[in-house]
């Protein structure tokens, strides 16, 4: 069972960008994607997002699965609506809505993401919950891979025996996630974690020149999108 991996890289050109700016841009891009109605504007928006996606290392198998899924979605839309341009537009809109959050989040170090959530004045318990949930995603991926390989070593090919997915895949995964949750709880308790205690930050978020440059590039990009949508 090949599992697509999106890995965060410290060499990404987006890594130094202010994470609060990334969060705002992510929300803004999804709003813009919902407002656009013309195919050229949507194509430019998605093209820019694909350039941002190039900052991530994506496994070839995962990329092929993504292309296959989008192709099936486009063909299904075209068959149901009988309108190819509309089907292509719907596929591009789906990409524009799905891509911003994972691309901008996966190019942000966890420590910077925590500082961004704290800068937004979110409650401490909510910040902790979001970070734990986010950390669990790669753990789930790793455990799925290990369980799948363990079954293969026992001579069980789950890809040809879907009836055993529940007992051979889901049940061990649930037990492993419960174990991780217990370990996190014990770790917080033994370290005296108090969500109401005041926090300090040795590296507070600051606006840098690269953030200004990034805003300029994004403004130019969205300006082209707006021109194609509302002026041309």
Distance, CA of 26 to CA of 102 (rounded, Å): 9
The b-or-e profile of 19-50 (16+ CB within 10 A means b, else e) is bbbbbebbeebbebbeebeeeebbbbbbebbe
At what angle are helices 209-226 and 39-53 packed, to 10 degrees? 150
When pLDDT is cut at 50, 70 and 90, the band that residue 223 belongs to is: very high
pTM of the entire structure?
0.69
At residue 11, does pLDDT exceed 60?
A: no
Give pLDDT tens digits for 207-222: 889 999 999 999 999 9
Domain ranges of the chain: 18-122+207-232, 124-194
At residue 228, does pLDDT exceed 50?
A: yes
- Asked whether the CA dihedral 22, 26, 28, 32 is positive or negative, the reply is positive
Task: Give SS3 for 7.
Answer: strand
**Percent composition of the chain: helix, strand, coil (DSSP 3-state, to 5):** 70, 0, 25
Q: What percent of the chain has pLDDT over 70?
A: 93
Q: What percent of the chain has pLDDT over 90?
A: 23
The C-alpha angle with vertex 60 and arms to 149 and 104, in degrees rounded to 5, equals 100
């Amino acid at each position: 069972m090949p599992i697509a991996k999106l890995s965060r890289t410290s060499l990404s050109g987006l890594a130094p960008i202010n994470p609060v700016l990334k969060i705002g841009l992510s929300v803004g891009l999804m709003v813009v994607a919902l407002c656009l109605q013309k195919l050229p504007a949507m194509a430019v928006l998605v093209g820019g997002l694909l350039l941002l996606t190039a900052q991530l290392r994506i496994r070839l198998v995962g990329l092929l699965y993504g292309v296959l899924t989008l192709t099936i979605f486009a063909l299904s839309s075209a068959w149901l609506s009988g309108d190819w341009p509309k089907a292509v537009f719907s596929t591009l809109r789906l990409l524009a809505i799905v891509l911003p959050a994972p691309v901008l989040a996966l190019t942000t170090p966890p420590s910077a993401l925590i500082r961004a959530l704290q800068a937004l004045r979110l409650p401490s318990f909510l910040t902790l919950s979001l970070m734990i949930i986010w950390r669990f995603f790669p753990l789930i991926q790793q455990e799925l891979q290990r369980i799948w390989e363990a079954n293969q070593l026992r001579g069980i090919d789950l890809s040809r025996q879907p009836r055993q997915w529940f007992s051979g895949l889901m049940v061990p995964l649930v037990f492993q996630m419960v174990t991780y949750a217990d370990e996190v709880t014990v770790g917080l308790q033994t370290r005296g974690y108090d969500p109401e205690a005041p926090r300090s930050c040795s590296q507070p978020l600051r606006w840098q020149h690269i953030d200004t440059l990034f805003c300029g590039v994004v403004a130019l990009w969205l300006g082209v999108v707006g021109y194609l949508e509302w002026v041309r």
